Structure 1
């Protein structure tokens, strides 16, 4: 087991930007109004389980259908690129915002809002570059932050304000864009065996 603080921090930042829990605060507040209550613990734990299970089984599923991790990581880089554009430009290309007050903890909160296509693709993209134990720690750190944000979403929105949330989204969008480019270049080189 080889823990690398740099890898953990990078994986954490990538997942944090993709999950975009701060940017999703308005959606969380809307869900809270519709459902009356959000089960923060349940939503966080379910999202964490989905992410970690996919981290382990995602590669096997890919092997089953004959796709290597580098190819998937390149595809993941494109998805990250579009999510970043969405965050920077304030447009909606990607996220579905479906609300079901009966099952708020699982759908749409844990899936697809937290553990959605973007974060699942990101996990496999990260796995192509980082050690698995570092990614698991990054996932756990994100789950803890998700729990705290869900618990305190109303106070956070009041404190930061809508403009603050928009600024945070744009900053993380630029970070994510740079990471998407790095991921693309790294895995294209691996695919073509360019050193």
Structure 2
């Protein structure tokens, strides 16, 4: 697999899943929990997100074909969806919605909202289907995409484990700056998805 594609795909998944932006949310959702229980929440959330993304990586394109949606059309729709996510990141609406999440005592946030929709949300699902399409499909393509998903989830899990000291290190300002930089990058990548979809459609 081309190294340029691997780098671009990894960056796309990293920006869409946004482990850095999720870290303060994880802290808020697990506030008051012991270290071992917090670790259990991190493991469970990442494993459930992995299962969901694996399901859509393997069967997502077949599902699209079954309901009559072409890959160029999905690339355009996915690009637009990623662009909306990027705009949310740039204008902090994404953080505001996440920080609005609240939990009751003894509530298990690993499935909802951590695994879905925060980690394996619509943007991440659209991205894995798009990336599999770019690999040409087949088990080699599925393996490549899943390897990248696992790499991003491992980073997410690592950041969850060091969430508290990382939050103190970056501060709110540092987190906001990184989120906006990632948002700008995601906006450019989403436009590229739309361009690729238009080219594949035969309109240009």
Q: Quote the Cα distance in structure 1 between the aligned partners of 2:95 and 2:170.
A: 25
Q: What TM-score do you get using the length of structure 1 for normalisation?
A: 0.89
Counterparts of residues 1-195 of structure 1 (less than 5 Å): 3-33=1-31, 37-38=37-38, 39-92=41-94, 98-100=101-103, 102-130=107-135, 131-192=141-202, 194=204
Q: Quote the Cα distance in structure 1 between the aligned partners of 2:155 and 2:191.
A: 26
Change beyond 3 A, Cα 1:126–1:148: same
Q: CA deviation at 1:99?
A: 4.4
Change beyond 3 A, Cα 1:95–1:117: farther
Q: What TM-score do you get using the length of structure 2 for normalisation?
A: 0.86
Unpaired segments ≥5 residues, structure 2: 136-140
Unpaired segments ≥5 residues, structure 1: none
Q: Quote the Cα distance in structure 1 between the aligned partners of 2:7 and 2:144.
A: 9
Q: CA deviation at 1:178?
A: 0.7
Q: Which sits farther off after the overlay, 125-134 or 146-155? A: 125-134
**Pairs aligned (count):** 192
Q: 2:20·2:159 contact (CA, 8 Å) conserved in 1?
A: yes
